[in-house]
Amino acid sequence: MKRFLLALALLAAPLLAQEPVLNPEEGIQKLVNVKYIDPAALRNLLGNFGVDIRVDDRINVIVLSGPRRRVTTAEDAIKQLDVPGAAQKDIELTVYFVIAGDQSNMTGNPIPQDLQSTVTTLKNTFPFKNYLLLDVLSLRSRSGVGASTSGQLSGNRYTSFGVRSASLEADGSMVRLDHLHAGLRIPHTTSILNPAGGPPQTKLEYMDTGISTDIVDVKEGQKLVIGRSSMDGPEKPLFMILIAKVVN
């Protein structure tokens, strides 16, 4: 019996040696299901692993393509992050468009009570006589996901607000915004020569003002002045005040 078992072992040895060795650089594709975390929120992170990523939010699936070793590393990272406590929270962003000036005929609304302290700080730095609220825009995003919104004011004026992505720091106290833009589009008319030789013609054009910035870090619940622009020259500045809140 011992001789028989030894013979089987000797026969099996060459067969075991013939098992294929996986090539770590071989290109593969892998479907990874996620249960707790928003798959779109992982897109930026997984891009650091050198793999191609496709996300299907409808069925919570991430498709990884690339060299075997990189796909395996990215899959392991997903499994470490996709745990019951990793459910993403919503981030609510609100931007207030505040205009200032010394003119008595400025158009706008009174500053709301919860912004009074912030506007008082502005007054101490920029001593204009009047501060009025022009518009308020709010949007809601998930960590790692972008969002945008817009509004229309009287006189064919338009406001816009958006971020490429919003992410929440690990301790939940800080929100990072990537590629933020808050803007105002104002119409104005210009005169052009009449080719027929009659009175000059008018042409409607728009002037864009506002701020754009690559990175903004704001504490959760903080009122942050993110920039200053101009509506009709330096005598009528436009301030943007941002509030970020984490919503369960």
The rounded Cα 248 to chain-centroid distance in angstroms is: 18
In this predicted structure, the answer to whether residue 193 has a pLDDT above a threshold of 80 is no
In this predicted structure, the answer to whether residue 15 has a pLDDT above a threshold of 60 is no
Q: How is residue 17 written in tokens?
A: 């040696």
pLDDT of residue 92: 93
- Residue 100 pairs in a beta bridge with 131
Q: What is this structure's pTM?
A: 0.64
CA distance to 100, 131, 204, per residue, from 103 (Å) = 9, 10, 25
Q: Are 43 and 143 in contact (CB under 8 A)?
A: no
Q: Is 213 helix (H, G, I), strand (E, B) or coil?
A: strand
Return the beta strands (E) in the chain as ranges: 27-33, 52-56, 61-67, 90-101, 130-142, 145-153, 157-168, 174-192, 201-219, 223-230, 237-247
pLDDT of residue 85: 58
For the chain, domains (ranges, CATH) are 22-86 (3.30.1370.120), 90-247 (no CATH)
The mean pLDDT of 43-58, rounded to a whole number, is 80
Higher pLDDT, 192 or 63: 63
At 222-247, the pLDDT tens digits run 999 998 988 776 788 999 999 999 88
Give the H or E element holding residue 117. helix 116-125
In this predicted structure, the answer to whether residue 152 has a pLDDT above a threshold of 60 is yes
